[in-house]
Structure 1
Amino acid sequence: MLESLITSKTRLRLLVKFFVNSKTQSHLRGLADEFGESTNAIRKELNNLTQAGFLVKESDKNKIAYKANVKHPFFSNIQEIIRKYLGLDKLLEQILERMGEVSQVILVGDLSRGIDSGKIDVVVTGDNLNEDYILNLSSRIEELIDRKVVLTLLAERMLSTGLVLFDKEVGA
């Protein structure tokens, strides 16, 4: 659906890259390699997004690093749209619905680094997690969001190595 609003696939991929996880930053050549596109196509969209104020440039030695402008007035709105586009809102809703005593839901893997590979890796921590529910949940979520979902259950809290979508202790 978002593809009909944002017709440039490169721009959409850049928005996903930088707005799924606001800590993500990247260089022109790295993005060109990752997306398999020319540096000119990437540069054009980076310039458009930077001029609009959605991205900021930072000088990093001899390279320019780009990242999301978290101070932009629409930052949280864009981040929410991108997360909905990826189905993270539905994924979180399904996990919290009947999973048990969930402590954390952490996005790990490619998507936590802003790489939309079509696969979503999620770690769920908590006590007395409903393992029967989890067996059916992956396929149900995959149908809802049209992406491969891999859920990993842990009893112990984990230090965030990815993007925290829910943390009961922090209240987020």
Structure 2
Amino acid sequence: MSEILENLFGSKAKTRIIRFFLLNPDESFSAADISDKNLLRSNDVRRELNLLSKIKFLNERSKKGRKVYSANASFPFYLELKNLISKANVFPQCKSLKKITSIGDVKLALISGVFLNYPKGKADMILAVDNVNKGKLKSLMNNLEAEIGREIRYVLVSSEELKYRLDMLDRFLLDFLESPHDEVVNKLPKLKRLIEGIKK
């Protein structure tokens, strides 16, 4: 779906910037912020910001001596664009999710929230990983956030801590499992049985 949007909007940079502002409608960002958060080249960002400001999709103002941009909710096609972005279901088209097993010994990776267009979700991802590589985890999250256009709310635990939480019938974990979610990785037979029991 992201490739369809890129072709529709003309470039990856434009797609990411439009999605970013539609998903963060109440915030203002500098060109440098947008470049960092979306992993885009600064020249591409400045070009797209100029074009999007010119057609009034973005508001432009000065804040503490630097230019910042925010979404213009009065833009004629604002709601239509917002609906289009929300319908572009991020999973399974989110390419960076394929790299999830590179962050360590991944026992479990569940997604919900922003990945499934489920705004009521308390978390977007639950990860149970042993021997986690913090650098690769940070890189993965940066890439996911750039693809999606929002900060990822994730919970990281070891397999031992997950087992303890399951044994204690942890409310947060049960709420997550009872709400819409998808499995990216699940190497835990006990959890598979628990999920099947919840779905019945």
Cα distance change, pair 37–26 in 1 and its aligned pair in 2 (3 A): same
Stretches of structure 2 lacking an aligned partner (at least 5 in a row): 91-113, 125-140, 155-170, 185-200
More strand by share: 1
Query: Does the 8 A contact of 1:28 with 1:42 survive in 2?
Result: yes
Q: Given the superposition, is the C-alpha separation of residues 108 and 30 from structure 1 closer, same or farther in structure 2, using an over 3 Å criterion?
A: farther
**TM-score, normalized by length of structure 1?**
0.56
Distance 1:16 1:136 in 2: 25
Please list the CA deviations of residues 109-159 of structure 1 after superposition, one character each: whole Å capped at 9, or x if unmatched: 78xxx752798549xxxxx99x4992684226x7xxxxxxxxxxxxxxxxx
Q: What is the Cα deviation at residue 74 of structure 1?
A: 1.2
Q: CA deviation at 1:32?
A: 2.1
The structure-2 alpha-carbon separation of the partners of 1:26 and 1:107, relative to structure 1 and needing over 3 Å to count, comes to: farther
Q: Does the Cα contact within 8 Å between 2:56 and 2:75 map onto a contact in 1?
A: yes
Does residue 23 of structure 1 match 2:26?
Answer: yes
Count matched residues: 125
Aligned CA distance change for structure 1 residues 62 and 119 (closer, same or farther; 3 Å): closer
Residue 39 of structure 1 is matched in structure 2 by: 42
**2:75 matches 1:72:** yes
SS of 1:25 mapped into structure 2: coil
Show the 5 A alignment for 1:94-133. Answer: 105=120, 115=146, 116=148, 121=153, 131=174
Higher helix share: 2
Give the drift of 1:66: 0.4
Gaps in structure 1 of 5+ consecutive residues = 96-104, 123-127, 143-172
Normalising by structure 2, we get a TM-score of 0.49
Partners in 2 of 1:26 and 1:118 — Cα distance?
13
Q: Name the residue aligned to 2:10.
A: 7
CA shift, 1:4, in A, is 2.5
1:64 shift after superposition = 0.7
Instruction: Find the counterpart in structure 2 of residue 56 from structure 1.
Output: 59
Distance 1:32 1:121, change over 3 A: closer
What RMSD, in angstroms, separates the aligned Cα atoms of the two structures? 3.9
Residue-by-residue CA offset, 1:84-104 (whole Å, 9 max, x unaligned)? 124569643xx9xxxxxxxxx
Greater CA radius of gyration, 1 or 2? 2
Query: 1:138 maps to which residue?
Result: 181
